[in-house]
Chain A
């Protein structure tokens, strides 16, 4: 399990619920060291242990937690760097959707050993999209739900999202774009200001 994924989960919990809650989850998951390094690898069991512990401590189903992680990744100031990287995908929400196929490859360009599930977008007409999320990382489909929801806000688009499970751990996200320029959206300049990019 790539440390970046576990580290992301850690900073999500710390930034959203505070370090005390993270300490509880880490101890419940049986972590000896309650800190993940983004650039190291960990045993795969740790991931499921963490999610299980989080469900209990936060008293929330895993699906909801994963979706919150996705929203956090786009909208929290501490992960502004990642939001910027996602915004490089396109000038509007639809173009961004079309860039999702490349997302796992883009991630690999930067962190060579980070393997993310396959993403495949198909469109039924110009406003109906279906995103297939491959298997390999439980919950990634829900994370993408949160990401899409938050990115739609970021672009100022009005969208409807729904999900259904496919076979063998695959998941489908149905995206209906009602309006691409519904609201103002957040500013995005190509040039990074200051040092740019926090930890992802």
Chain B
């Protein structure tokens, strides 16, 4: 076999150059990708060599001997190619080319097949790897998306009181922490049901659960969208009012709550009657420690309890004075 025919098989992307810079022979794969005839054409008119620097004549081209050059076809899809040139000792040269990293697009653009690559070429292995890796990545990404969904659902469950559907104490900590970090003003309402124990003891837990769910529903109806109600204990609730500071409005809400909670609920033809004591702490004082505000709401609640229950108090108001913020007890 002639050396030149050997080249066709083991280097299907080779070129033999005359001393004049004309192409004497080109490998079969290059014929497939070039829109123009190759044999007889000047190499630098078919290919643009742009690295390591632009090459404009055969003399410069020969100077790149042994080094990696980057080039592209001047016509057609202009796929980038990598190559190396070796002088043939008679003024001409042998050039071998490869698609390098652009093999994916080249295979697509020119509809190449395995037989367009030398049997030793890793191009097909590279295509295999890219395709297999993207399948594996897709599977991995799918799994991550599903896991993320499951995580959100689990967090949601962890922050929800299963009986009432309100947020729970753990959620309260998170919300307060957020307010603390964001330095956003907020008010707190601490609500404790009155006579709940009697309902539980005389009518049973099922009746108690019904009352709790009923109270929770009232709370969600009374508060605004940006406020959050929590069940923080057996018959203990907390409402966080985001950005709402007006004592007058908070008083109205508290009065409404007490009034509606006092409406009797029927369980199994038995009437359940409860009421609520409420303590309110407004964030007007510029308190940036939520724990302090919690304590104030707690103290105000205690004042309501001490004053005879079924009423609300603001923190800081004179105790047992019977002012406008109070409501008649039962």
Residues of A in contact with B (beta carbons under 8 Å apart)? 37-40, 81, 84-85, 88, 90-91, 106, 109-111, 189-192, 196-200
B90 within 8 A of A: no
Q: A37-B143, A39-B140, A88-B131 are in contact. List 9 more A-B contacts (CB 8 A).
A: A91-B113, A106-B132, A110-B133, A110-B135, A190-B112, A191-B107, A191-B108, A197-B134, A200-B139
B253 within 8 A of A: no
A-B contact pairs, 10 of them (CB 8 A): A39-B140, A84-B131, A85-B135, A88-B127, A88-B131, A91-B113, A196-B131, A196-B134, A197-B134, A199-B142
- Say whether A199 contacts B138, CB under 8 Å: yes
- Say whether B131 contacts A197, CB under 8 Å: yes
Q: What 1/0 flags go to B116-144 for Cβ under 8 Å of A?
A: 00000000110111011111101110110
Q: How far is the CA of A199 from the CA of B125 in the complex (A)?
A: 20
- Say whether A190 contacts B124, CB under 8 Å: yes
Instruction: Note all chain A residues with C-beta closer than 8 A to B134.
Output: 196-197
B104 within 8 A of A: yes
Partner of A110, one of B107, B112, B132: B132
Instruction: Note all chain A residues with C-beta closer than 8 A to B131.
Output: 81, 84-85, 88, 192, 196-197
Q: How far is the CA of A196 from the CA of B125 in the complex (A)?
A: 16
The 7 lowest CB-CB distance pairs between A and B, nearest first, are A197-B135, A191-B108, A110-B132, A88-B128, A191-B107, A190-B107, A38-B139
Q: Is the interface of A mostly helix, strand, loop or mixed?
A: loop
Q: How far is the CA of A94 from the CA of B114 in the complex (A)?
A: 15
B162 within 8 A of A: no
- Say whether B143 contacts A190, CB under 8 Å: no
Instruction: Note all chain B residues with C-beta closer than 8 A to A189.
Output: 111, 113
Instruction: Note all chain B residues with C-beta closer than 8 A to A88.
Output: 124-125, 127-128, 131
Partner of B114, one of A38, A81, A91, A197: A91
- Say whether A39 contacts B139, CB under 8 Å: yes
Q: How far is the CA of A191 from the CA of B110 in the complex (A)?
A: 10
Instruction: Note all chain A residues with C-beta closer than 8 A to B140.
Output: 39
A29 CB, nearest partner CB in chain B, Å: 22
Q: How far is the CA of A38 from the CA of B141 in the complex (A)?
A: 11
B202 within 8 A of A: no
- Say whether A85 contacts B138, CB under 8 Å: no
- Say whether A190 contacts B138, CB under 8 Å: no
Contacts known (A190-B107, A191-B111, A198-B135); A106 close to B128, Cβ less than 8 A: yes
- Say whether A91 contacts B115, CB under 8 Å: yes
Which residue of chain B lies nearest to A193 when distances are taken between CB atoms in the complex?
B108
A129 CB, nearest partner CB in chain B, Å: 20
Q: How far is the CA of A81 from the CA of B131 in the complex (A)?
A: 8
Q: How far is the CA of A41 from the CA of B142 in the complex (A)?
A: 16
Residues 89-113 of B at the A interface (beta carbon under 8 Å): 104, 107-108, 111-113
- Say whether B112 contacts A199, CB under 8 Å: no
Instruction: Note all chain B residues with C-beta closer than 8 A to A191.
Output: 104, 107-108, 111-112, 127
- Say whether B127 contacts A190, CB under 8 Å: yes
Instruction: Note all chain A residues with C-beta closer than 8 A to B136.
Output: 110-111
B208 CB, nearest partner CB in chain A, Å: 34
Q: How far is the CA of A85 from the CA of B129 in the complex (A)?
A: 9
- Say whether B138 contacts A39, CB under 8 Å: no
Partner of B135, one of A40, A81, A109: A81
- Say whether A199 contacts B135, CB under 8 Å: yes
A89 CB, nearest partner CB in chain B, Å: 8
Which residue of chain B lies nearest to A92 when distances are taken between CB atoms in the complex?
B114
Instruction: Note all chain B residues with C-beta closer than 8 A to A109.
Output: 129, 132
Q: How far is the CA of A77 from the CA of B108 in the complex (A)?
A: 21
Q: How far is the CA of A196 from the CA of B128 in the complex (A)?
A: 12
